[in-house]
Structure 1
């Protein structure tokens, strides 16, 4: 029977009894606060999302929309707060998951859901060049907004333009409805350019929000820069550093001179109508079939074919209303003419420089002609 008891022991120290009492688990002192509150709707797309921690430090913050697209943000150095680095999209539901730790390493977590506002008024950006296009070395990224922008900083921040090979690219506003991006010098031939428009949810003016979120890309083709000498009445076409052709031209007559400056081809038309009444020349001309026309300015400057002037005009006289004319055939059907030759070898974004004209320099907003500005003014 002695085998059924322990000698010299006591019931308190019997097998299976605790040797000591453990400290009970205690909750984390850290308190996570998320604004807006759980379930909120019509939340502003900027400035409303705030995540903070008291009596602890944030360690994890995850914010994503219903498709799983994450909102990028940063936890402050002291761990007390998290802020998004970009605006939120409009009419979108977001889920927030945040964790903080107190001084003893105990975690406190919080999860919320909210929905951003549905805009009553919106704007878009109409951009050039087109997605997938190949353009000349002078082509800027030009975005025209459908509504005047009163918060240009917010809008510009939401647009990212990058290039391979990498080059510094800066934006410049022309008024409140146009934003162009370009490098300091012409693009290098072969450059790949990507434009990311993250305008959805950007409040461009009070109560007016962007509604675009898309990415476009284009490629810079060969380098072609043509120089028109209005005094010598010639145009030298330079391709990849070599002069490949010198063409006789006619520039603006003494009373209707051609602008000087660096201009970019923005449109091409095999045949188009040119009416003087649309550019301030009244009824002086209305030519319904101008061949091989390429636009250089919004105000009506073109390089185009001319079939109505005698062939002796080109290279000897300036007779146009401000355009640069090249000898051509009516109907644009003769590929052997100087105008057809130049048209066939030009693309949108090619540069045409006019010099030695008795006129002023073209203004940068008159077409895609920001190259007339110096870099400090462009970046100011």
Structure 2
């Protein structure tokens, strides 16, 4: 771990372990001297828990996460070793950096872009909490904490260190308990509808971005998720409920994070792969494929982009400019500039197409027995 990552890790851990005296407001204002001192921080920012009591209620009452176990997840399992988060680098096209807790139960993701921070904090958080309370099997990723810098800092202004981090469940929990050879058999897919317009991939023969960037735009899943009819209907119904709240709040560009690992890792010859912490659900803990070859896990990630954000409006204009520059080819909307309703339709259609169930004769079929229109929401 480099010096930057170590200092960011220390800032996160200090916010988690800080034993604040009870106070009426989670967001009490720091003193003027503290603000001046904090402003000159570059990497080691002073972070605080945003609406700490709200997230604690989610952890304990809604998701059944033991509070002491949650806090201990951030400590080193060895008392002789320094406690540090585990840096896993830049995994996203947005430039976010990621850490895991030492026991790999939780993932920490930075939110470096202001419009993502403000959208989740100011617009989506309360509907998200209400939805989670009413839908305990929701497949929206469980966000267990939001850390933020309560004062302006030089490091955040210069982009040297992120001022906001979300802590969330790690759907890959259990992988690290496998042997190195077994870990190589785990597969992950960050899936979005791939029929949108991606300038980095589609314009000027794809030369606007290096291959390392284009590889992070969208994943391709070239197989089928083979489950029972009931399991598919459960998945589609839950994703329909989850995407409805995102549509209602004008969110686009979210993705289905699909994990699969060989089912033989759960055989009697080896320790059973542990499931993510908290109250379980079938698609979060793992669904075994009909042929008994794979175990699937799935959650919804990255719902931080609002269609009406300035960036989305600017990029909509950029698409129109591309159409003027390259006449004769009408570039369609990008995943981040389309309407929330259309994105939801395509997202659910993508999932429906990739999940294969047997028809009444026992042969594989890609369609539900009685597929309901997307508009017919359970909510």
User: Normalized per residue, which structure has more helix?
Assistant: 2
Q: Flag whether TM exceeds 0.5 (same fold).
A: no
Q: Higher RCO, 1 or 2 (CA under 8 Å, sep at least 6)? A: 2
Q: TM-score, normalised by structure 1?
A: 0.20
Q: Could you say which structure has the larger radius of gyration?
A: 1
User: Normalized per residue, which structure has more strand?
Assistant: 1
